[in-house]
């Protein structure tokens, strides 16, 4: 019996999103798709790093180098956030 | 894909600043905090600045994790789309693209077409034939993987702008 399951490709921001920052909160909006996503700065930073050229592991390593005290947390947060952003339509599969 | 390289903290912060964009994230967070996301849908009545009578409300959830069983190597997915207001007879053009990273697959459905909404919604079936298997003795060996992307636009551009896309990432393996 054969089955299908998921795969991971380099994440890439979906085109057409507008980004606004206000009072420590970041808002991603896509008027054509009728989507609005409220995020904090770290979630928005992850989204910004998804340019299609970096794998999830690359993003983890980059952020871990910048925030070495949170390496373990970043390794957990980045894949979860990428998956959520994909589910919300803000990222392509890459 | 190359292996991640070790960076000094200074170089990493420089790269982050360049990637984040000075105009938006003027100051990188001084320390890491748990990412937070909350999504919503722009209400139709808030779209007055766009001057379109219709808008895409949804074209389905992104299927990042897809599980299913193929019969004779053929899998089928439904790709629904919802517009607002929920009128009937609104023509939408769709296009389907198949990107294969390994193995082979054939799109059995037409790669583009036009359909009309009924009460604001319409759905198209997409059939994919996974072909060219090389069966492996090891269970779980990856045989084929790829991505199916469906893009919707209003056939009459004066009715609605932008597009709506839905993507399914799949891989095919032997259990």
- pLDDT digit string (tens) for A15-64? 778 777 766 678 887 766 777 888 888 998 999 899 888 899 999 999 99
Residue A39 C-alpha, separation from nearest chain B C-alpha, in angstroms: 4
Cα–Cα distance for residue pair B45/B109, rounded to 1 Å: 36
Closest chain B residue to A85, measured at CA: B37
Q: What is the interface pTM, i.e. ipTM, of the complex?
A: 0.85
Contact B40 A29 (CB under 8 A): no
Chosen from A35, A54, A66, A71 to mutate, greatest number of chain B CBs within 10 A: A66
- The confidence score (pLDDT) of residue A37 equals 86
Cα–Cα distance for residue pair A62/A73, rounded to 1 Å: 13
- Encode pLDDT of A5-20 as tens digits: 334 578 988 877 877 7
Name the pTM for this structure: 0.47
Residue A4 C-alpha, separation from nearest chain B C-alpha, in angstroms: 5
pLDDT confidence bin for A2, thresholds 50/70/90:
very low
What residues of chain B score a pLDDT lower than 50?
1-4, 23-24, 46-50, 63-69, 133-142, 175
Set of chain B residues whose Cβ sits within 8 Å of the Cβ of A63: 12, 16, 32
């Amino acid at each position: 019996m054969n089955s299908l399951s998921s795969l991971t490709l380099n994440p890439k921001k979906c085109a057409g999103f507008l980004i606004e920052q206000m009072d420590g909160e970041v808002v991603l909006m896509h008027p054509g798709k009728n989507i609005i996503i409220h995020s904090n700065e770290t979630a928005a930073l992850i989204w910004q790093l998804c340019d299609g050229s970096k794998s999830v592991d690359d993003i983890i390593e980059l952020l871990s180098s910048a925030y070495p005290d949170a390496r373990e947390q970043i390794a957990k947060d980045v894949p979860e956030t990428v998956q959520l952003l994909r589910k919300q339509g803000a990222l392509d599969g890459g | 894909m190359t292996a991640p390289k070790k960076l000094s903290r200074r170089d990493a912060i420089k790269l982050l600043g360049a990637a984040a964009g000075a105009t938006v994230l003027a100051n990188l967070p001084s320390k890491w905090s748990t990412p937070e996301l909350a999504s919503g849908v722009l209400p139709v009545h808030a779209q007055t600045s766009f001057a379109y009578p219709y808008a895409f409300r949804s074209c389905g959830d992104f299927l990042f994790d897809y599980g299913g069983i193929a019969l004779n190597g053929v899998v089928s997915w439904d790709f629904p789309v919802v517009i607002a207001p929920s009128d009937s007879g609104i023509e939408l053009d769709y296009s389907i693209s198949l990107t294969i990273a390994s193995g082979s697959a054939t799109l059995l459905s037409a790669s583009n077409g036009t359909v009309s909404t009924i009460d604001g919604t319409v759905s198209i079936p997409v059939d994919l034939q996974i072909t060219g298997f090389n069966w492996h003795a090891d269970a779980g060996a990856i045989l084929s993987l790829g991505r199916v992307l469906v893009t919707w636009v209003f056939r009459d551009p004066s009715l609605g702008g932008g597009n709506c896309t839905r993507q399914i990432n799949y891989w095919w393996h032997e259990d």
